[in-house]
Structure formats: C-alpha cells, structure tokens
Structure 1
C-alpha cells in the first residue's frame, strides 16, 4: 500500500509540473527535462514511472479527462435551475480557463501522443473536446426533457457547435481570454432558436 501511495504522489507531482509548464510556456516547451525541473526531481524519476515521454503525456491527458466527471455531474445537476445559457456559460468558462485549452493544443501538436490516445480511447475524437461535447449534450438533453429548451432542439448538433464556438476565442494563448459576458453572448447566439424567452 505505501508503494501505491508513493507512486500516486509521484505521478501527481509530475502531472502538476507538466500542467504548469504547459500553461506558462505552451506545448512546444513541454519536455521531460522541463517537467522534472519544474517538479524539482531528477530526470530519471519520470522514466522510472513511465515507458517514455509520450506515454507520460498520454497518462496526463487521460487523467485530466477523468477530472471532467465532477464538472459533468455538477452541470447535469443544475438542469432545471438558473438559466440554460447561464449554466452553460459558467461550465464552459471554467473548462476553457483551466488546463483544458492547453491540453487540446498539446494533443494536436504531437502525432505520437494522438496515436497513444487513439489506442487508449479508439472512439474518441479530440480529447477533452469530445468529453466536453458529451457533457453539454447530456445537459441539454436533461433540459429538453424538462421543457426548458424546445422539444425539436437538435442536441447532437447544438452541443458540438457551442463547444467549438466557445473554444475558438480561448484557443489563442497570446491574446486576452474572452470575458464571461462574451462567452454568454456566444452561448445565447448558438442556442437562440432552442431557448425561447431565456437569456
């Protein structure tokens, strides 16, 4: 048991270090040396726990995807409360202000990492964006069942559209991230036909 605890602690220390490098310096700066330097440990520590660096990155991405479960549950539980656009805006801002936007950039910049992730999740599209889209679709379905969006609303079209539309302004790491109000406007515009009388 102590060994398992120690392994989890080392993995989390390395994952957190990688996340800091990724957020601060971007995907191109993410190397095994940068991660171990940021974590304050010897380079060999990473290679003792992971077969290679792409294996480490794949585990990092999968770990961060698993963390979406809490957000997905909270969003689903919010169905029937507040406004649909307000609930979605808050969720999407939290998602894209986190490391998620940097993870998407990392995945799209590394062919070997994408190949590893396809092996781990063969039916997945772009990691994190796929899970975010499923989370939004599930929420919209719940709101449709409650009658808060139109019965004819195409949830499977609306979910990826709103995720993509909100993702784009966050994707430019060199610019200023969009405000909550700007995100709200995008969400409201995308869902306008499905949300009669709501902001």
Structure 2
C-alpha cells in the first residue's frame, strides 16, 4: 500500500477518534492518550504523523473547516430554491449538529491552538467565522434572487444567525434542539427581511 494512503487512513482514524471523545466527554477530556486509546492504536502513532498534540488539534479543526466550506458551496447553490428559513435552519443544523460546538469550546480554551489557527482564520473564532461567511454568502445570493430584502444588512444577520445557532446547540447533554426550534430561531431573525416563502 502506498505510504500516502496509509498516512491518510491513520489521520482520518485519529480525527474520527478525537471527534468521538469530544462529543462524548467534551473538550477537557481530549488528550493524546484519550485519542489514541479511542482509535485503538499506540500513543506513538499520533506523534509519527503530527509534530505535537496542538498540531494534531489544529489539523482536526482545519479538517472541519474544509467541511464547512464544502457545505457553504452547497448552501450557496441552493439559493433561489426551497424556503429561505428551511435552507438556513438545515445549514445551521448541519454545522452545529456535528462536532463543531465541541471544537469551538476546544479552540476557545487552548491559546496555542488559537495561535496556530490564526494563519487560516486571522480574525474571529475558527469554525464560527467560516460558518458566518457561509451564511452571509447565502443571504447575499438570496438578495440577488429578491427573496431577501435588498436593504437587509447581511453583515449583521449572518453572525446573529450563527451566534443563535451555536447557543441553541451548545448544551450537548440535553441533545439536539428540535427541527422546529431551529426554524423558529431562524424565522425570528430573518422574518422581517424575507420577501418570498414557498
């Protein structure tokens, strides 16, 4: 098997293990030993592929950022179709219904990790910034379709939606909010500027 394929498999296995630990036990439980134990491999495996644990964590976050950017493209392409509220509620659920909320907690609690992520996310909180860009891009596209008022301030609406989305998904012990609850939050924020509904 080519070396590149083997490394990718190990990296993905370690990322998946880290996400399981984060979802189950939270950011404070995430250690290199917890990750390798969860992945079922020796501790040295992680250090063969990453300079140190903070580099591993930075790559874990970057991996999730790539997923958000792919989602952003899909959301942007959905502009002009379906319901604006439903599209936004689905996007927020996809972002925050995953491990992103736990990753945000991890990022805010580790100074070294934040410093390493500054190259790719120079301002704001990584993941939240990319989610905000995703929502802003979508809202701008919907303005072009006339489904969001031209005078709507996307630079305010996007972070408001992301902040509200983050808050309603933040309690990992109570489970995910109901679909209707997410839609109600989105509708409350954007209702005054929506110009078309199915």
Range of TM-score over shorter length: over 0.9
3-state DSSP of counterpart to 2:7: helix
Q: Which residue of 1 aligns with 2:46?
A: 46
1:29-81 per-residue CA deviation (whole Å, 9 max, x = no partner) reads 10000000111110011111111111110011001111112211211111111
TM-score normalised by length of structure 1: 0.95
Show the counterpart of 1:174.
173
Map 1:1-199 → 2, pairs under 5 A: 2-118=2-118, 120-196=119-195, 198=197
| Structure 2 CA distance for aligned equivalents of residues 122 and 195 of structure 1 | 30
Shift, 1:105, TM fit: 1.0
Q: Deviations over 1:125-150 (max 9, x none)?
A: 11111000000000000000010010
Gaps of 5+ in 1: none
Question: What TM-score, normalized to structure 2?
Answer: 0.95
5+ unaligned residues in a row in structure 2: which ranges? none
In the aligned structure 1, how far is the partner of 2:164 from the partner of 2:13? Answer: 33
- CA distance in structure 1 between the partners assigned to 2:97 and 2:21 by the alignment: 15
| Number of corresponding residues | 198
Residues 122 and 130 (structure 1), Cα distance of their counterparts in 2 relative to 1, 3 Å cut = closer
